[in-house]
Amino acid sequence: MNGAQALFETLVAAGLDTCFANPGTSEMHLVTAIGQSARMRPILCLFEGVASGAADGYARMLDRPALTLTHLGPGFANAMANLHNARKAHVPMVNIVGDHAPYHLQYDAPLTSDVAGHVRLHSAWHRAARSAQDLSRAGAEAVQAATTGAGRIATVIAPANFAWEPADGAAPPLPAPAQGRTSDATIAALATLLGNGRRTGLVLGGRAQRAEALVMAGRIAQATGARLLGETFPPRLARGAGRVKLERIPYFAELAIEFLEDLDQVVLVAVNEPVAFFAYPNVPSRLLPERCAIHELVGLDEDVPDALARLAAAVGATTDAPLQRHELPPIPEGPLTPAAIGACVAKHLPANAIVCDEAITCSLDLYRATEGAAPHDFLAITGGSIGIGLPLAFGAAIACPDRQVVALQADGSAMYTVQALWSMAREQTDVTVVLLNNASYAILNVELARLQAGAPTPKTLTMLDLGNPVPDWVSLAKGMGVSADRVEDTVGLERALAQAAATRGPKLIEVMVARR
């Protein structure tokens, strides 16, 4: 047995069985060991950002880590943008990144770089293996680190020779870390607070947005009159017909400030204080009114259902909040405005679907339209790093092969990790990509105005415009092995969505977005 074999035996024993991989020469013994493992499933990604985004989607759905396998510093660098999103989603993930043999580093060969320097930026835990035997020990530690709290990113640097040198055997699994729990004093204090008659917001984030946690939070709101607020970009939100409804905090800071201005106090549930996404001239970074007191029920990494259940009991909350009714907006005839697209998506969304949202400027209309659609999980872009949508949908589909995944996908963002389509085709994942082609970084046109940057010249606008040429997404999808249709009106979109829902496997619907 070599170090690589011992490592994957360790990881499989710890319950990891899925590896999103983009390996290189220094990982060939790792690849061989995966090939020899009866349980490890390798999934080839043609760009590392697909691997990390897919591991994020996988973890958001299953609450357990997938593996990624990448090649040296540059390979890890390509994974970083989506690791940033994964870090902000607080998911568990274990990355294995190859490095040169330590004795080879001193020669500064072309692919030599500061791998630890790369890894450090996006990993809560990381270390390089120190020997072939230590490689599997590092793997066991990584799993333990990754499953701490809500989830962490843990990265093992695997020098090539430690993969090929002999090892004694797999490392024993390490115990899962205990989860923190809200104190009785906090529960009692917050129960009192919720009865003080002041205008209260219960702000839900992370795992407080799962279906059962929402039921409990809804009862608290129902009993106390608190507003039920949800973070702007949830890792995974249970919503749609039959679910407890929450008010999502708006993205634009000006709107969010208005939206929150009635609040005297907030209770944070697995979330940080809401803040502006970007700084803008003359707009504050903090969104809550100055008078608003901020309290925390439970931290992101602590036991969320427990805290909500105990607070509900403490305030005597037993009545369920009214649930979202199944109601669909009417579908207008004609061009595909964002609202019309939303109405079509809402009608054809299968029950228990997974919706991955990287619709950017179209997102708000689609979100509103699908409020009363069939119940679904909604996965957002948690860290604002675009290019997560397609990989996220792919990873969620690998995690939940029996659920249909719908990716609501802006064109500009899709381009960053377009290679995800190929992996969808290879794995025949049941993903419908609703590709919103507005031939623009439309959000940047909006932001340009908000930032009062001055009148744009035609040259300025070339930097925000995807026209000339307009990417042809039907051809791009076909090139990646995914069947695709272009639609220009609601009849066409309805037909394409119905077809997609009725057939398994990946498909892309290129929606030519009309101006509102």
Tokens linked to 271: 């979330």
- Nearer CB in complex with a copy of itself: 73/338: 73
Contact with a copy of itself (CB under 8 A): which of 12, 124, 294, 415? 415
The least CB distance from residue 73 to a copy of itself, in Å, is 7
Provide the minimum distance between the beta carbon of 448 and a copy of itself in the complex, in angstroms, as a whole number: 5
Looking at the Cβ atoms of 25 and 183, the one nearer to a copy of itself is: 25
Stretch that binds a copy of itself, among 213-221, 242-250, 289-297, 420-428 (CB under 8 A): 420-428
Determine the Cα–Cα distance for residues 156 and 101; give it in Å rounded to an integer: 14
C-alpha separations of 22 from 304, 415, 421 in Å: 35, 19, 15
The residue whose two tokens read 């009725």 is: 502
Site for a copy of itself in 152-211 (CB under 8 A): 160-161, 164
According to CB under 8 A, which residues from 309 to 338 bind a copy of itself? none
CB within 8 Å of 108: residues ≥ 6 apart? none
Rounded to the nearest whole angstrom, what is the least distance from the CB of residue 463 to a copy of itself in the complex? 5
Under DSSP, is residue 419 helix (H, G, I), strand (E, B) or coil? coil
Is residue 361 within 8 Å of 340, Cβ to Cβ?
no
Which residues, numbered 234-293, are part of the site for a copy of itself (CB under 8 A)? 272-273, 275-279, 281, 285-286
Minimum CB separation from a copy of itself for residue 117, in Å? Answer: 5
Q: Which of 77, 86, 396, 513 binds a copy of itself (CB under 8 A)?
A: 77
* The only residue of 412, 442, 496, 497 in contact with a copy of itself, by rule CB under 8 A: 412
Comparison of 118 and 245: residue with beta carbon closer to a copy of itself: 118
370 is a site residue for a copy of itself (CB under 8 A)? no
Q: Which of 20, 30, 12, 27 is nearest to 59 (CA)?
A: 20
Tracing tokens 């929150």 back to the chain, one arrives at: 260
Contacts 24+ apart (CB under 8 A), 272-279: 272/205, 272/300, 274/203, 274/231, 274/232, 274/249, 277/232, 277/251, 277/253, 277/384, 278/253, 278/447
Stretch (H or E) spanning 437: strand 431-437
The two three-digit tokens of residue 474, written as one number: 């039907």
Which of 46, 124, 174, 314 lies at the binding interface for a copy of itself (CB under 8 A)?
A: 46
Q: Which of 292, 396, 435, 476 binds a copy of itself (CB under 8 A)?
A: 476
Which of the stretches 68-76, 137-145, 206-214, 340-348 binds a copy of itself when contact is defined by CB under 8 A? 68-76
Q: Residue 292 or 343: which CB sits closer to a copy of itself?
A: 292
Which 4-23 residues touch a copy of itself, going by CB under 8 A?
Answer: 21, 23
Q: Quick one: 240 or 412, whose CB is closer to a copy of itself?
A: 412
User: Binding to a copy of itself by residue 151, rule CB under 8 A?
Assistant: no
Q: Which of residues 480-499 bind a copy of itself (CB under 8 A)?
A: 480-481
Q: Report the distance separating Cα 136 and Cα 6, nearest Å.
A: 6
> What is the footprint of a copy of itself within residues 119-138 (CB under 8 A)?
120-121
Q: Out of 11, 16, 34, 436, which residue is the one contacting a copy of itself (CB under 8 A)?
A: 34
Cα–Cα distance, 65 to 287 (Å, whole number): 33
Tell me, by CB under 8 A, how many residues bind a copy of itself.
101
Q: Which is nearer to a copy of itself, 62 or 116 (CB)?
A: 116
Q: Which is nearer to a copy of itself, 34 or 397 (CB)?
A: 34
Per CB under 8 A, the segment of 8-16, 180-188, 329-337, 421-429 that binds a copy of itself is 421-429
Least spacing, CB of residue 486 vs a copy of itself, in Å: 12
Structure tokens at 139: 């793997």
The CA-CA-CA angle for residues 76, 64, 1, to 5°, reads 65
In terms of CB distance, is 28 or 193 closer to a copy of itself?
28
C-beta neighbour count of 108 within 10 angstroms: 10
Distance in Å, CB of 376 to a copy of itself, minimum: 23
CA dist., res. 97 & res. 107, Å (int):
20
87/263 Cα distance (integer angstroms): 29
Instruction: For a copy of itself, give the closer residue by CB, 191 or 418.
Output: 418
For residue 469, cis peptide bond before it (omega within 30 degrees of 0): yes
Residue 187 Cα distances to 199, 222, 310, 486, angstroms:
19, 17, 7, 54
- Which residues on neighbouring strands pair with residue 511, listed in sequence order? 436, 487
Beta carbons within 8 Å of 458's beta carbon, 6+ residues apart: none
For a copy of itself, give the closer residue by CB, 19 or 241.
19
Judged by DSSP in three states, 259 sits in helix
Angle between helix 72-89 and 48-62 (nearest 10):
30
Candidates 175, 468, 502, 515; binder of a copy of itself (CB under 8 A) is: 468
- Is 91 a binder of a copy of itself (CB under 8 A)? no
Given 108, 184, 247, 258, the residue binding a copy of itself (CB under 8 A): 108
Compare residues 11 and 480 and give the one whose CB is closer to a copy of itself: 480
- Which of 6, 54, 67, 81 binds a copy of itself (CB under 8 A)? It is 81
* Region binding a copy of itself by CB under 8 A among candidate stretches 144-152, 259-267, 378-386, 395-403: 378-386
Strands (E), 150-300: 153-159, 200-204, 227-230, 237-239, 247-248, 265-269, 293-298
Minimal distance, residue 374 CB to a copy of itself, in Å: 29
Residue of 241, 443, 487, 500 that binds a copy of itself (CB under 8 A): 443
